[in-house]
Amino acid sequence: MVEAATLREALERWFGFPSFRPSQEAIVRDVLDGRDVFALLPTGGGKSLCYQLPAVLTDGLTVVVSPLIALMKDQVDALDTAGIPATSLNSSLEYSDLRRRLDGLERGAYRLLYVAPERLTLPGFVDDLERWGIARVVVDEAHCISEWGHDFRPEYRRIAPLRDRFPDVPFCAFTATATARVRDDVVAQLGLRRPAVHVASFDRPNLTYRVMHGTRGIDELVRWLRTRPDDDAGIVYAGSRANTEKLADALSAAGIPAVAYHAGLDPALRSKRQEAFIRDDVRVVCATIAFGMGIDKSNVRFVVHYDVPRSLEGYYQETGRAGRDGLPAECAWFFAYGDVARAERFVDEKPESERPAARAQLERIVRYAYSNGCRRRELLGYFGEEYPLERCGACDNCLQPRASFDATVDAQKLLSCVYRIREAHGYGVGIAHVVDVLVGAKTEKIERWYHDRLSTYGIGKDRDRRAWRHLADELMRLGLLAQDAARHNVVTLTAAGRRALAERTAIEVREAVAAVAGGKARR
The C-alpha atoms of residue 385 and residue 2 are separated, in whole angstroms, by: 31
Q: Residues in the chain, how many? A: 523
Comparing CB distances to ligand ADP, the nearer of 182 and 431 is: 182
Which of 251, 210, 283, 255 has the alpha carbon at shortest distance from 514?
210
Q: Which of 416, 434, 411 is nearest to 338 (CA)?
A: 434
CB of 159 to ligand ADP, least distance (A): 19
Q: Which does 24 bind (CB under 5 to 8 A by kind): Zn ion, ligand ADP, none?
A: ligand ADP
- Rounded to whole angstroms, the Cα distance separating 330 from 394 reads 10
Closest CA to 88 of 114, 119, 61, 54: 114
In the list Zn ion, ligand ADP, none, the entry touching 43 (Cβ below 5 to 8 angstroms by class) is ligand ADP
Instruction: Give 70 or 250: the residue with its C-beta nearer to ligand ADP.
Output: 70
CB of 245: closest distance to ligand ADP in angstroms?
28
* 17 binding partner (options ligand ADP, Zn ion, none; Cβ < 5 to 8 Å by kind): ligand ADP
d(CA 257, CA 146): 38
Whole-angstrom Cα distance, residue 460 to residue 414? 8
Cβ 207 to Zn ion shortest distance, Å: 11
| Interacting partner of 21 out of Zn ion, ligand ADP, none (Cβ under 5 to 8 A depending on kind) | ligand ADP
Nearer to ligand ADP, 46 or 191 (CB): 46
Contact by Cβ (8 Å): 316, 385: no
Residues 2-61 that bind ligand ADP (CB under 6 A): 17, 20-21, 24, 41, 43-49
Q: Is 519 in the site for ligand ADP (CB under 6 A)?
A: no
Nearest-approach distance from CB 25 to ligand ADP, in angstroms: 9
Residue 296 interacting entry, from ligand ADP, Zn ion, none, C-beta within 5 to 8 Å by type = ligand ADP
Q: In the complex with ligand ADP, which residue's Cβ is closer, 41 or 374?
A: 41
Candidates 195, 167, 193; CA nearest to 37 is 195
Q: Which does 202 bind (CB under 5 to 8 A by kind): Zn ion, ligand ADP, none?
A: none
Binders in 285-314 for ligand ADP, by CB under 6 A:
296
CA dihedral (24, 30, 36, 38) in degrees, to 10, reads -30
Task: Specify which residues 86 forms β-bridges with.
Answer: 112
CA 13 from centre of chain: 35
Which one, 87 or 208, has the nearer CB to Zn ion? 208
**Of 396 and 436, which has the nearer Cβ to Zn ion?**
396
Q: Which is nearer to ligand ADP, 20 or 457 (CB)?
A: 20
Give CA–CA dist 456/474, Å, rounded. Answer: 20
With CB under 5 to 8 Å by kind, the binding choice for 65 among ligand ADP, Zn ion, none is none
CB 17, min distance to ligand ADP, A: 4
CB of 389 to Zn ion, least distance (A): 8
- Residue 243 binds: one of Zn ion, ligand ADP, none (C-beta under 5 to 8 A by kind): none
* Site map 147..176 versus ligand ADP, x via CB under 6 A: -----------------------------x
* Choice between 71 and 394, CB closer to ligand ADP: 71
Compute the distance between CA of residue 253 and CA of residue 260 in angstroms, rounded to an integer.
Answer: 13
CA distance 174 to 49: 11
CB of 391 to Zn ion, least distance (A): 5
Residues 6+ away with beta carbon under 8 Å from 478: 496, 507, 509
Indicate the residue among 83 and 123 with the shorter CB distance to ligand ADP: 83
Q: Which is nearer to ligand ADP, 24 or 208 (CB)?
A: 24
Kindly determine how many residues on this chain lie close enough to bind ligand ADP according to the rule CB under 6 A: 14
Tally of CB atoms within 10 A around 472 = 27
Contact 451, 457 (CB under 8 A): yes
Which partner from the list ligand ADP, Zn ion, none does 374 bind, CB cut-off 5 to 8 Å by kind? Zn ion
Q: How far apart are CA 237 and CA 289, in angstroms?
A: 7
- Residue burial 55-64, b: 16+ Cβ < 10 Å; e: rest: bbbeeebbbb
Nearest-approach distance from CB 134 to ligand ADP, in angstroms: 21
Q: Which of 400, 381, 406, 236 has the alpha carbon at shortest distance from 321? A: 236
Phi-psi region of 60 (alpha: psi -120 to 50; beta: other; left: phi over 0): left
**Secondary structure of residue 43 in the 3-state scheme:** coil
395 within 8 A of 412, measured Cβ to Cβ = no
**Positions that interact with Zn ion (CB under 5 A):** 374, 376, 392, 395, 398
Q: How far apart are CA 503 and CA 403, in angstroms?
A: 25
Contact of residue 125 among Zn ion, ligand ADP, none (CB under 5-8 Å per partner type): none
Give least dist CB 311 to Zn ion, A: 20
DSSP 40: E
**Which residues does residue 89 pair with via DSSP β-bridges, in sequence order?**
115
What is the closest distance, in whole angstroms, from the C-beta atom of residue 175 to ligand ADP in the complex?
A: 9
Nearer to ligand ADP, 200 or 434 (CB): 200
Cβ of residue 70: shortest distance to ligand ADP, in angstroms? 13
Hey, which residues between 173 and 202 contact ligand ADP (CB under 6 A)? 176
Binding site for ligand ADP (CB under 6 A): 17, 20-21, 24, 41, 43-49, 176, 296
